[in-house]
Structure 1
Amino acid sequence: MQFRILCLALFFLFSGISGRSQTRLSLLTCGPGEQMYALFGHTAIRVQDSLRGTDHVFNFGVFDFDTPNFTWKFMRGTLMYKLDIQEFQGFLPEYQYEGRSVIEQELLLDEADEAAIIAFLAENYQSDKRYYRYDFFFDNCSTRTRDVFEKVLKERLKYRFPESESLPTFRDMIDPFIGHDSWLDFGIDILLGAPTDWTADERGQMFLPAFLSSNLAYGVVDETRPLLSPPVTFLEPALGNGTGAMVKPAWVFWLLLPFFALMWAYLPKIRQVLILDAVFWIFYGLVGCLIAFMWFGTSHLATNSNWNLLWLNPLQFAVGISLLLRPRAKWLPLFGWLQFLCLLAYLIAWQATSLEMHFASIPLIILLVLQSLRLADFKIKRPKNPDFLK
């Protein structure tokens, strides 16, 4: 509570800024951390006043772990983030402890612009604007920081980006932070939808703190004055690049492919194999349930329009249960053909659009093709009274 009172007092002081104040504003860019929420780095605005001896950080990336139903709200994308303030002397040690880099770039603004930015931050802190619904690509700590400068400086701020022959997608941009072909990379690729494959222009790239830092460096105020000074390093990264998981998902799935294919070809009616079929469909169906939930049950834009639902869908769970309880159900062969057609549609969309497919997905899709054809022909090939039904 005392800290909140300090923050409010700070704003009253800032609201009375005059020419006698010696303020300095800067952009802080923090490197990636080991925790999932820290994988993409962080950004904040530092406000110093040497005359009053204050040094604070305005941070748009704060959320409250004590929020009721925190995990459920986080998963559904309804958790409210907020603008908060902390003293710089408490901000820096956190990143030093976590072994993360911190760089600073001073905002090269006159006193009037500095005062306008501080007033804008103060107004946002003291109103409902302080809270916002987080969106990974379009409304996060990094884009909010960019928006502060754009809303205060308006048309006086222009970007002089160099010409580029091609622009990356959002998926291209996050991949280096996750680790190529890691289990996390595979899982995220499965759960993220079509918006992830949209092209990110230079302004859109600023959703990542590192690109906010580099792309704002092309900003110019009043046609001549650079927005930012060159970066100064406070902390070097102590984290290594890491070797990632020793066992890659692609290795596992490609090794499983011939094993299952041979087993289905030579042992099609063994009880254990048929039970394994059920487990196969249940597993795919559970992943499909998660994809469907992230698309239809959450507010995350990044998980919308996920066409992986064509080959990973909740109905597959029902197939697995039916194989265990009612293996002669008449709808199973029909579903096998339907699933096969959905796979064809997915592969056509993959070739015809910007849809991206993770390399580790290929053996899983091949397995599903084989299982779909096996299910479609199940009624013809199985004996009338298989041993496992007696």
Structure 2
Amino acid sequence: MVLRRLLLFCLLSFSFMAKAQVLSPQAKVSLLTVGPGTDIYTFFGHTAIWIYDPVLGLDQVYNYGTFDFRASGFYWNFLRGNLPYQLSSGPLDYPDPRYSQLEYWKSENRGVIEQVMNFTPEQKQRLFELMEFNALPQNKTYQYRPYYDNCSTRPRDKVYEAAQGTIRYDSTDAFLVGRSYRDWMNDYLTDSPWSRVGLNLALGYPIDRITTMQQAAYIPNNLLRLFDRAQIVRPDGKKEKLVLQTNTLFKAEPQPTSFLWIAAFWLVMASPLLILILRRKQIKAGGTFDRTLLFITGLFGIIHTLLWFGTQHGITDWNYSMFITNPFNIPALLLLSRKPRWLMYYFIAAMVFLVAGVMLEVLFWKGTYGMIFLTVTLFVRYRHLALYVKKGQSV
């Protein structure tokens, strides 16, 4: 068995070495930074490694973080955090636009910036061989982690590995320090309030940790800045800029912000409080309005619980939004008609947890400011429900 494995390893290694080409002196290796798109998985941009050699006729772009919607169990695996991602490769430019990476990004109006690496021929060759080895069928699939191991962090690490630790980052760059994963994420969700609330509610304490400069490079534009200000150390100790040249391959056209969607978002988020204010005399404690609130918040609380304990994301753990979207509101709803006396203490406790949740939201500034309307409404209705149970009124 051991002999068979050794033989297989030798065959694979020989196959890889036979396939790998030696780059010419005219070859260049570049980092490509692609701007944000309109789909949620493109909101934060993209990073790719491009290796181009006109002598060999080589034009290869390596993309981490690609996936197949048609894969068996795609949505289930995605929700559970088990979705396998892959390294894919293809030409940057191609006569047939269907196979051209650049034309695809242009069609989505996503800007493309090239940073040519100031590498020696040996470093270029090393990066090329690293990427080719990673692109082999047995190596290209990996477990994607959106904030720690994504389409931007992998190119960062491969470039650093190819340079064999000779890259020095600018420790004086204050822009890339002092912010959390969540802070960086929210910068790209300003024009997408629905996604902003949804992601911030779903993600827990792990993304509130402050990032280092290298960790902040999980955002492609941050990696662009990190490399732009970095230096590379030569064998004689001389330091040179890591980026030899920066080229704009495509400049995206500015897109107007859809204020209609933003207005609709605020209207929906404010609707519970507006209904409470405008129809306060018609709303009865324990009635349809209260039951709807308990059901919706309880349902989201259950979803948060499942994301925490039923998935392998890691970033959905320790979610203090559960103080607001309380999963215990579902059993409270089911027992509301019976009005057991202890339910009064539950609603009082729910008020305390609600205040604690708001304090944590403010402390870590999740950016879910639209939730303020719901929290105020919940606080008022929890108080009414506590009195409702205490007095033993009928529904």
TM-score (norm 2): 0.85
> Alignment RMSD, CA only?
2.6
For structure 2, the residue ranges without an aligned partner over 5 or more in a row are 1-12, 94-99
- 1:362 and 2:372 aligned: yes
- Aligned residues of 1:282 and 1:321 also touching (Cα < 8 A): no
Equivalent residue number for residue 283 of structure 1: 296
In the alignment, the residues of structure 2 paired with residue 209 and residue 163 of structure 1 have an alpha-carbon distance, to the nearest angstrom, of 17
TM-aligned CA deviation for residue 157 of structure 1: 1.1
For structure 1, the residue ranges without an aligned partner over 5 or more in a row are 1-7
- Aligned residues of 2:193 and 2:262 also touching (Cα < 8 A): no
- Aligned residues of 1:46 and 1:57 also touching (Cα < 8 A): yes
Once the two structures are superposed, residues 255-301 of structure 1 have per-residue CA deviations (whole angstroms, 9 ceiling, x without a partner) of: 5425315645x34548xx70221111101111112222222222223
Distance 1:11 1:42, change over 3 A: farther
- 1:334 and 2:345 aligned: yes
Equivalent residue number for residue 117 of structure 2: 107
1:173-322 equivalences under 5 Å are 173-179=184-190, 182-222=193-233, 223-238=238-253, 240-244=255-259, 245-254=261-270, 256-261=272-277, 263-264=279-280, 266-267=281-282, 269=284, 274-322=287-335
- Aligned residues of 1:295 and 1:305 also touching (Cα < 8 A): yes
TM-score (norm 1): 0.86
The alignment of Structure 1 onto Structure 2 pairs a total of residues equal to: 371
AA partner of residue 289 (structure 2): L
Equivalent residue number for residue 156 of structure 1: 166
Q: Report which stretch shifted further, 362-371 or 221-230.
A: 221-230
- Aligned residues of 1:278 and 1:321 also touching (Cα < 8 A): no
Instruction: Find the partner of 2:181 among 146, 170, 194.
Output: 170
Instruction: Find the partner of 2:22 among 14, 17, 29.
Output: 17
- Aligned residues of 2:232 and 2:239 also touching (Cα < 8 A): yes
Once the two structures are superposed, residues 197-227 of structure 1 have per-residue CA deviations (whole angstroms, 9 ceiling, x without a partner) of: 2212221111011111111112211151211
TM-aligned CA deviation for residue 169 of structure 1: 1.9
- Aligned residues of 1:14 and 1:119 also touching (Cα < 8 A): no
- Aligned residues of 1:194 and 1:306 also touching (Cα < 8 A): yes
Q: Is the partner of 1:364 in helix, strand or coil?
A: helix
Identity between Structure 1 and Structure 2 (%): 25
Distance 1:77 1:25, change over 3 A: same
In the alignment, the residues of structure 2 paired with residue 375 and residue 357 of structure 1 have an alpha-carbon distance, to the nearest angstrom, of 29
- 1:137 and 2:147 aligned: yes
In the alignment, the residues of structure 1 paired with residue 323 and residue 85 of structure 2 have an alpha-carbon distance, to the nearest angstrom, of 33
In the alignment, the residues of structure 1 paired with residue 385 and residue 196 of structure 2 have an alpha-carbon distance, to the nearest angstrom, of 31
- Aligned residues of 1:22 and 1:50 also touching (Cα < 8 A): yes
In the alignment, the residues of structure 1 paired with residue 254 and residue 303 of structure 2 have an alpha-carbon distance, to the nearest angstrom, of 32
Equivalent residue number for residue 76 of structure 2: 72
- Aligned residues of 2:117 and 2:245 also touching (Cα < 8 A): no
AA partner of residue 50 (structure 1): P
Q: Report which stretch shifted further, 118-127 or 35-44.
A: 118-127
